[in-house]
Structure 1
Amino acid sequence: MESIELFAGAGGLGMGVSRAGFTPRAVIEWDRWCAAVVDHFSDAIVKNPIVGQTSENPRLREWHTKNLDRLPGLKFMRTLWVCDVSGGPFKFTATKPGTTPLGLEQAHRDLRISPAEFDEVAAELGRTLAFLKVPKPETDEVLAAFAAHKGEVTAGYVAKGG
């Protein structure tokens, strides 16, 4: 069995449920930097002139103005992912391309994200990691894991004139 602690100060509870046989998958006090990265990064993306609310891509512009009510759930999923790719303890199981309507390629297809826009999001993630002084090994892990999904995220892109 697994447990998730969402409230600060619950460390005693975490130790107790661990002794009772639960495996902690998320303990907010252990994963504070993951949440800080995702919070800063997500907010920066919304404000980013290339991929956010003033993007030339009308689909990205619309998402970042009309769908902000979905941002908390997206931040939660991003937190799981960042913590998983940087060594845990969160565990995020990614989908395989083309196997589910919840996969990255399907989730991003209608946004028609260009390779250059993907690169800007990656750069924003790099700026966030630097701003929060995340150590180089974790920064490299996160950026490499992010870059590995470029093909999926940009699968819906149609080049102008094509």
Structure 2
Amino acid sequence: MKLHTAYIGTGSNIGDRLSHLQEAVCRLGALPETKVLRASPVYMTEPVGEEEQERFYNGVVQIETGLTPENLRSATKAIEQELGRPERYRRWSPRVIDLDILLYADCIIETDTLRIPHPELHRRKFVLIPLLDIANPLHPVLRKTILQMLRTCGDRSVPVRLRERLRLH
């Protein structure tokens, strides 16, 4: 079985946000052929889109997995639903948990259900900053590192680093 490195963005702005993020990390680590290698500190960030909602807690985890990108996407969607996120939801709405595959090895995938790298990765400080805390991979389309993208990111938000850090299991 060949293992691949992937980065998963995590976010929550309903209920016990830190607990939701931590439970998602635990469930990612329990997936078949998958191990959580690193987890970022947690950041509090302003919501994007609908601004009349609670702030988000965000982080990024680095995993090593034998799952295909499609199977990993199915697994992250199942974790979201198990933790209380409805299958259908309004874009930008509050959510118990949000899991996004940011990068998967050096894959470039564009299907109806999956886009890797994540199409908004280079535009979002709430993803770039925690990702840079744990790694500085190369974006396979833009051919820039996370640090290079952060330096040119037009996002004016200021993610606030919390003391909490996602724990590995």
Please give the range of the TM-score, normalised by the shorter of the 2 chains.
Answer: 0.3 to 0.5
Q: Work out which structure has the larger RCO, using CA pairs closer than 8 Å and 6 or more positions apart in sequence.
A: 2
What TM-score, normalized by structure 2, do the two folds share?
Answer: 0.32
What TM-score, normalized by structure 1, do the two folds share?
Answer: 0.33
Between Structure 1 and Structure 2, whose CA radius of gyration is higher?
1
Greater strand proportion: 2
Greater helix proportion: 1
